[in-house]
């Protein structure tokens, strides 16, 4: 990594850390006075609204965490569904061509129908925040692509639920009533593939965001990547530091509109840019994509195959 690029990363990360450190008081102040609304506030909901939706036939609550985490305590009525349900992980390994990307529309429609979800359902997804992997954002990203427009994340995640004074349960949730969800296509405006990125990455209106941890960006190999480093031109914005207030009492609350805009301005990214978000496998970057879209960065897209694919192609440069 060259000196100028390192200086840029340090500058952005300094901004991220400063905002994480002061985010609690700033967020509380703006949320209780004159908070600027999100560009698309339909992407999230709060614990009180989830509580009010419990038991409604048209509402499906998804716990996107592992089965072990779900069994240790979940929101009453929530069903456990992990992102791998909708991805090509049954065969092959990370770095193989098309490993871990979204399944076909028909397969996704069947899986959603098995969860009792139709295009008109209200679907609320939660995970652990900020200690998880952004699984809630990944699943909402896929749901929006599938046309489930009333899909959203629980702001604060599982911790947000308990911080609001609501209890978790270990009781089994009722089995979902299966539905028919014929799905012929996905909305591809939410996703970028390798060929598009290679053809457009040098455009001044295309920005690349690396949502992984700083050490991964710098070259650490932590999850079986073929090579370490990052995509040329990418700016490092670790999802857990960049997107959440990290407030002690409720750390998974998403930053305010003003805070997100300040972060992106410091990174040199405008709302008119196409923003390619990536991580190791498109999970953390799925959350990054949806939060940026919520904040009005409507051209944010998720590189589904992400760094597993990029690092696995020896013809591509890694810095």
- Summarised one tens digit per residue, pLDDT across range 252-300 is 999 999 999 999 999 999 999 999 999 999 999 999 999 999 999 999 9
Q: Half-sphere exposure of residue 120, counting CA atoms within 13 Å on the CB side?
A: 4
User: What does the alpha-carbon distance between residue 94 and residue 283 come to, in Å, rounded to a whole number?
Assistant: 13
Which pLDDT score is estimated for 81? 98
Q: Cα-flanking dihedrals φ and ψ of residue 310, to 5°?
A: -60, -50
- Summarised one tens digit per residue, pLDDT across range 22-34 is 444 444 444 455 7
Average pLDDT, the chain: 91
Q: Hey, do 3-36+188-312 and 41-163 end up sharing a CATH topology, with the first three levels equal?
A: yes
Q: How confident is the model over 82-95, as a mean pLDDT? A: 92
The answer to whether the beta carbons of residues 208 and 236 sit under 8 Å apart is: no
73: confidence class by pLDDT, cuts 50, 70, 90:
very high
Which pLDDT score is estimated for 247? 92
The answer to whether the beta carbons of residues 156 and 253 sit under 8 Å apart is: yes
Q: What is the pTM of this model?
A: 0.89
Q: Cα-flanking dihedrals φ and ψ of residue 51, to 5°?
A: -55, -40
User: What does the alpha-carbon distance between residue 17 and residue 242 come to, in Å, rounded to a whole number?
Assistant: 8
- Segments making up each domain of the chain, as ranges: 3-36+188-312, 41-163
- Summarised one tens digit per residue, pLDDT across range 143-164 is 999 999 999 999 999 999 999 9
CATH of domain 3-36+188-312: 3.40.250.10
Residue 313, C-beta contacts closer than 8 angstroms, at least 6 positions apart = 194
The CATH architecture of the domain made up of 41-163 is: 3-Layer(aba) Sandwich (3.40)
Q: Is 201 exposed, middle or buried (0-12, 13-18, 19+ CB in 10 A)?
A: middle
């Amino acid at each position: 990594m060259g000196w100028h690029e390192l200086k840029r990363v340090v500058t952005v990360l300094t901004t991220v850390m400063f905002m994480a450190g002061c985010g609690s008081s700033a967020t509380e102040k703006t949320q209780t006075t004159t908070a600027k609304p999100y560009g698309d506030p339909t992407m999230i909901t709060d614990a009180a609204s989830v509580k009010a939706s419990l038991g409604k036939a048209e509402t499906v609550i998804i716990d996107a965490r592992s089965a072990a985490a779900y069994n240790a305590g979940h929101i009453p009525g929530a069903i456990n569904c992990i992102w791998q349900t909708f991805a090509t992980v049954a065969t092959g390994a990370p770095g193989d061509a098309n490993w871990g990307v979204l399944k076909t529309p028909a397969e996704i429609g069947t899986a959603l129908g098995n969860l009792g979800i139709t295009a008109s359902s209200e679907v609320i997804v939660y995970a652990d925040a900020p200690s998880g992997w952004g699984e809630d954002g990944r699943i909402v990203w896929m749901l929006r692509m599938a046309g489930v427009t009333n899909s959203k994340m629980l702001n604060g995640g599982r911790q947000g639920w308990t911080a609001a004074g609501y209890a978790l349960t270990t009781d089994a949730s009722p089995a979902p009533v299966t539905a028919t969800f014929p799905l012929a296509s996905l909305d591809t405006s939410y996703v970028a593939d390798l060929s598009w990125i290679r053809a457009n990455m040098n455009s001044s209106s295309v920005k690349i965001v690396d949502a992984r941890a700083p050490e991964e960006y710098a070259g650490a190999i932590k999850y079986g990547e073929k090579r370490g480093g990052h995509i040329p031109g990418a700016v490092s914005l670790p999802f857990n530091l960049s997107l959440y207030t990290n407030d002690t009492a409720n750390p998974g609350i998403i930053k305010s509109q003003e805070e997100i805009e300040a972060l992106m301005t410091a990174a040199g990214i405008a709302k008119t840019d196409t923003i390619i978000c990536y991580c190791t496998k498109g999970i953390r970057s799925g959350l990054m994509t949806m939060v940026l879209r919520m904040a009005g960065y409507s051209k944010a897209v998720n590189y589904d195959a992400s760094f597993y694919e990029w690092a696995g192609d020896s013809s591509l440069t890694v810095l």
